[in-house]
Structure 1
Amino acid sequence: MISVVPLMIFLSLSKFSAGEVTEKSKYTTKYDNIDINEIIHNERLLKRYVYCLLETGSCTPDGLELKKNMPDAIATNCSKCSEKQKEGSETIIRYLIDNKP
């Protein structure tokens, strides 16, 4: 199950943009400097995000933000994502493909 949910995280932060989006309608960049590599290479941290998304555990503030924006990000192909968020999703995608088949 843990390999499926991170895939959902990927999809929610797809690296492809769809159309023009105004700065006001972008997702917050407040959490853009979180170390994605630290999270994906630490099973305990990764599981906490998975449990947050599955609503089986508590959420960090950035986990809540991800959970809140995930449906819209999937629906709009991440058109409101910052470049840093798109880069982070690419990192996560590559990690999951290589390590969580």
Structure 2
Amino acid sequence: MLLRDDDDILPDAASDLERAFVDSLDADERRAVESRILSAAQRHWLKAARVVWDAIDASDYDVWDASVVHAHVRALAGLVGAGELESRGDLRRPRFSEVCLPPHA
């Protein structure tokens, strides 16, 4: 499992199950996923895996469902790309990367 195994890495392409999960979300729920990720982040550095775990745990989704986890990690990376979060390390390996809210947030 991506959030627990040291050698697990997010695949470059989404699986069919992950795409199905993401496609099942309407625009409001996609924003809610991002909002939960941002709420789980702090101004100090936290492991990306912890932020994703806390965001999923705050929802009705199953934290043990790989497609849900992968979709949340990709959403987290999207927030980094949009400047909503800062990161260090390879986000495809959330146990070994960290995120935090930017100073202006």
TM-score (norm 1): 0.34
Name whichever structure is richer in strand by fraction.
Answer: 2
Name whichever structure is richer in helix by fraction.
Answer: 1
More contact order relative to length (CA 8 Å, sep ≥ 6): 1
TM-score (norm 2): 0.33
